[in-house]
Amino acid sequence: MENKGFKILIHASTWFAPILVPIITYFIISDREIKSLSLQALVFHIVIGILISVSAFFSWILIGIPFLIIFGLIAIIAPIVGIVKAINERPFRYPIIGSWF
């Protein structure tokens, strides 16, 4: 699998450039699998960002705290699973978002 490094980079971008890296990768790489993964990661980062923001806003009335914890864990765990699967050269699709692309 020749694009292993790009897959790891896309998954790891969640900690340093979650929007920028998937967009750049989408436009510079011609491989369909990498383009699909880039779109999945981009949409995943945007959706998780929105969910965490809404949960943080509602945490002042306590209902948002459980959601903040759950979405925060998803934002951390999903990219780690993606990195491990990319290292082992196994396919990975982001939760919920992966079925769209």
Give the pLDDT band (50/70/90) at residue 23: very high
The answer to whether position 56 is within a domain reads yes
Left if phi > 0, otherwise alpha if psi is -120 to 50, otherwise beta: which for 62?
A: left
Per the structure, the complete domain to which residue 76 belongs is given by: 3-88
The answer to whether position 93 is within a domain reads no
Give the pLDDT band (50/70/90) at residue 27: very high
State the total domains in the chain.
Answer: 1
Output the pTM of the full model.
Answer: 0.77
**In whole angstroms, how far apart are CA 22 and each of 2, 59, 67?**
18, 30, 26
The answer to whether position 59 is within a domain reads yes
Query: Read out DSSP for 39-99?
Result: HHHHHHHHHHHHHHHHHHHHGGGTTHHHHHHHHHHHHHHHHHHHHHHHHTT-----TTGGG
